Amino acid sequence: MLQLSVLRDQTDLVLAGLAKKRYATAEADVAAILDLDQRRRALQTSHDASQAEANELARQIGALMKSGDKAGAETLKLRTAELKQHTQAAAAELAQVEEGQKQLLYKLPNLPHASVPEGRSAADNEVVREHGAKPELGANAQPHWDLIKKYDIIDFELGNKITGAGFPVYKGQGARLQRALINFFLDEARAAGYTEMQPPILVNEASGYGTGQLPDKEGQMYHDAKDDLYLIPTAEVPLTNIYRDEIIPTDKLPIRITGHTPCFRREAGSWGADVRGLNRLHQFDKVEIVQITEPEHSYAALDTMVAHIENLLQKLGLPYRVLRLCGGDMGFTSALTYDLEVWSAAQGRWLEVSSASNFETYQANRLKCRYKVEGKTQLLHTLNGSALALPRIVAALLENNQTADGIELPEVLHSYCGFSKIG
């Protein structure tokens, strides 16, 4: 959530940032927030003045009672009763104004970093670098949705029977490959200094608001109405919310944590060839990395996270590229996002497998995740990245490494899988 002080003091900068993010009602919403802020401050001043006068009258009433001037005390008590009514009315109106202001603030996306390129869609994203040679497959090469049937390692029809479309069942070597990738990613994260956590996969509403999934992505999350709990779309939500309403000692910073969870996304409206097979699922597994840092260190931390993800892709032998997302394609809460995509040889296209983002103070302001500098409480910066999401990694591994007699797995996975080839 954007800070009110920034909206007040740097209004033009805010409007320019929201325009870069293609936020259509920026001027009207910012003006409404600032109007409510003026009203809030006027109400607060009136409330505080009435309270201060009531406190002074209470002191005077006590003195009059001690001196025996009951008539004078009763006169002041009448005024005190008026002030009490005024204070209560002002407090009620103040609470209403603050709630309205908060709901409008929730609607505003984060401001983009200065390095974020202009653009409306994924077509305008900036390619930062590419790594690795794209494999050249033979004429008989198959996409992963045919390979998984050929080797009987993932069953979409069985998943559809049990649950519905987008919930595959992993079988035999497919299930073992999933487990191998999860363990590999977690081991690599721990080696890089991240503390492994195993968080809940259901979160409450406060957690959804804390990291910005609510109210922005409410329609994309599975919701249990009876208990008012949400299935997580990413481990970012429970991992970051560990530090909600916390003042973190500076000697504990930076915080680096990692966790594996299943992830659940409704993906409403998704259809077509681009979402076939493993390209888009309602349930999938992912290892997430999260950092919480002092503001001056957050962009160096983002660089280390991207380097960590690149290292995983290099060890898996997958050609990849790094993109800096443009303003129109960025997430609601992000100030700067790098997407990492792997080359899918059989499909002949890039597949996104990771996003690494710096949210600056946006999530921390919602979370009240803070630290103290020279006795003054300040907001921290939060960051997260996928390291990595499994479905499209599996798709690329199957397609890029297919041979006439099976799928050769990268050497780094052999000990994790207990086999070197599928088939």
Provide the total of helices (H) and of strands (E) in the chain, helices listed first: 13, 19
Rg of the chain, C-alpha, whole Å: 27
Residues 385 and 300 in one domain: yes
Residue 145 CA to residue 142 CA, distance in Å, equals 8
Residue where one domain finishes, among candidates 83, 107, 131: 107
**Is residue 74 assigned to a domain?**
yes
pLDDT confidence of residue 326? 98
Beta strand residue intervals within 132-174, DSSP E: 154-155, 169-170
Please report whether residue 127 resides in a domain. Answer: yes
Say whether both 90 and 141 belong to one domain: no
Strand extents, DSSP E, 300-394: 320-324, 336-344, 349-358, 369-373, 376-379, 381-389
Reading the block at residue 110, the tokens are 């984060």
Pick from 412, 390, 384, 366: which is nearest to 258 by CA?
384
Encode 5-30: b = buried (16+ Cβ within 10 Å), e = exposed.
Answer: eebeeeeeebbebbebbbbeebeebb
In a domain, 43, yes or no: yes
Q: Do 197 and 310 have their domain in common?
A: yes
Query: Exposed/middle/buried for 404, CB within 10 Å: 0-12, 13-18, 19+?
Result: exposed
Answer yes or no: do 102 and 248 share one domain.
no
Same domain, 32 and 76: yes
Considering the domain boundaries, does residue 115 fall inside one?
no
Q: Show the CA angle centred on residue 381, arms to residues 379 and 382, nearest 5°.
A: 125
Q: Which of 78, 107, 136 is the last residue of a domain?
A: 107
In this structure, are residues 396 and 349 in contact, taking their beta carbons and an 8 Å threshold?
Answer: no
* Same-domain pairing of 140 and 103: no
- Pick from 298, 299, 307, 263: nearest CA to 381: 298
148 in the same domain as 60: no
Distances (CA, A) of 92 to 4, 78, 193: 21, 22, 49
Q: In what order do the strands lie in the sheet with 223-224?
A: 202-204, 229-231, 223-224
Distance between CA atoms of residues 419 and 412, nearest Å = 11
pLDDT tens readout for residues 199-208: 999 999 999 9
- Would you say 141 and 402 are in contact if contact means Cβ atoms under 8 Å apart? yes
Judged on CB neighbours under 10 Å (0-12, 13-18, 19+), 199 is buried
Q: Is 117 part of any domain?
A: no
Residue 271: what pLDDT?
A: 55
Residues 238, 318 within the same domain: yes
Within the chain, which residues score under 50 in pLDDT?
A: none
Q: Which residues of 156-181 are buried (b: 16+ CB within 10 A; e: fewer)?
A: beebeeeeeebbbbbeebbebbbebb
192 and 322 assigned to the same domain: yes
Q: Cα(262)–Cα(284) distance, rounded to whole angstroms?
A: 5
Predicted pLDDT of residue 106: 95
- pTM to 2 decimals? 0.92
The C-alpha angle with vertex 201 and arms to 208 and 168, in degrees rounded to 5, equals 115
25 & 82 share domain:
yes
In a domain, residue 82? The reply is yes
CA dihedral 139, 143, 148, 154 (to 10 degrees): 180
Please measure the distance between the N-terminal and C-terminal CA atoms of the chain and give it in whole angstroms: 50
Q: At how many degrees (to 10) do helices 26-67 and 11-20 cross?
A: 140
CATH of the domain at 374: 3.30.930.10
Amino acid at 181: L
- Say which residues have a Cβ less than 8 Å from residue 29's Cβ, sequence separation at least 6: 104, 107, 108
Are residue 169 and residue 69 in the same domain, yes or no?
Answer: no
Domain assignment of residue 116, yes or no: no
C-alpha to C-alpha distance for 296 and 291, rounded to whole angstroms: 13
In a domain, 112, yes or no: no
Angle between helices 173-191 and 390-400 (to 10 degrees): 110
The DSSP call for residue 118 is P
Same domain, 133 and 232: yes
Residue range(s) defining the domain that contains residue 30: 4-107
Domains held by the chain: number: 2
CATH number at residue 17: 1.10.287.40
- Of the residues 84, 107, 130, the one at which a domain ends: 107
The DSSP H or E segment spanning 18 is helix 11-20
